[in-house]
Structure 1
Amino acid sequence: MKSREDGRAVLHASQRLAAEMLATNDIHQKTMQQIANEVGIDIRTIYRWKQDPDFIEYQNDIAEKVMTSFLAETYNILRNIVRGSDSERNKLRAIELVLKNQGRMTDVQKVEAKIEDDRSNEAIDAEIERLKKLLGQI
């Protein structure tokens, strides 16, 4: 196996094909044996490749690209739900997802903090005087 400039291995064509098929297997829905047969390798080879960091990285890269192209389809479906759903609940949920995705709607969280200060009034007064002196030196 060759090595690239960055030290990572260059995958063979059969490795790339197997990784691409695995990354998009939700579309093809093939068994591991079917993928191995199409690539022309033994099924054990696929399991061995699935342990290879370079193979995993390439498969993940393909999966990311597929998801990026899937994003446009997802937005179309959300728009269709907003415009055409008979269910008000489905419309509102789709609108909420769109607004959250665009950063225009966030969940509100209430944060409470209880600060305890066990210093005496004299200690606090002394701290105030010390800070006033520091400010006077500036």
Structure 2
Amino acid sequence: MANRTLRDIMKELSAEQVKAAQLLFENDTLPPKQRRTYEQIADELGIEVRTLYNWRKQDAMLDYKVAMTDTYTKEHRARIMSAVIRESELGNASMTKLFMQNQGMLIDRVEYEDKTEKIDEVALATKLANFKAKL
């Protein structure tokens, strides 16, 4: 998305595509059993389902979804964190880890140990000189 605002993204989409992007985003936020099919969404928009599939792949449509997700999570941060805490209290280790990462209490860290053999430059220079002498 690279610092594009939702307004900038919407300028790249037709009014019909903005409506489609909104419906697709809203559909994704519903519980799985309540979600509509792409065919149902296409019917609501009065377009072919193939058109909807093609639109979904466009960068502007994908960027719209990312921008809306960012807005949604900002608006619902307290509720989301409450759910994370509740799940953590129920023993969900993944949620405990997520909560701790969010609070800066747990940081993923990678340690690297170089076990490669160190090169003896003097010995290498000697071998090279011996090799050259044989030529």
TM over 0.5: yes
Asked if the contact 1:9/1:54 (under 8 Å) is kept, the reply is no
Match of 1:118 among 106, 117, 120: 120
Note the residue ranges of structure 2 that are not aligned, 5 or more in a row: 1-7, 126-135
Question: How many residues are matched?
Answer: 112
Match of 2:71 among 65, 70, 77: 65
Residue deviations 1:82-133, cap 9 Å, x none? Answer: 45x3xxxx16654433222222223454432245131349x9xxxxxxxxxx
Residue deviations 1:27-56, cap 9 Å, x none? Answer: 151111111122222223212322433333
Asked if the contact 2:10/2:18 (under 8 Å) is kept, the reply is no
State the AA in 2 paired with 1:35: I
Closer, same or farther: CA 77–41 of 1 in aligned 2, 3 Å: same
Decide which structure has the larger Cα Rg and report it: 1
Q: Secondary structure at the match of 1:117?
A: coil
Match of 1:36 among 12, 37, 42: 42
Note the residue ranges of structure 1 that are not aligned, 5 or more in a row: 1-5, 124-138
2:101 aligned with 1:100: yes
Asked if the contact 1:23/1:59 (under 8 Å) is kept, the reply is yes
TM-score (norm 2): 0.60
TM-score (norm 1): 0.59
Closer, same or farther: CA 94–118 of 1 in aligned 2, 3 Å: same
State the AA in 2 paired with 1:100: Q
Higher relative contact order (CA 8 A, sep 6+): 2
2:26 aligned with 1:24: yes
* Root mean square deviation of aligned Cα: 3.3
2:14 aligned with 1:12: yes
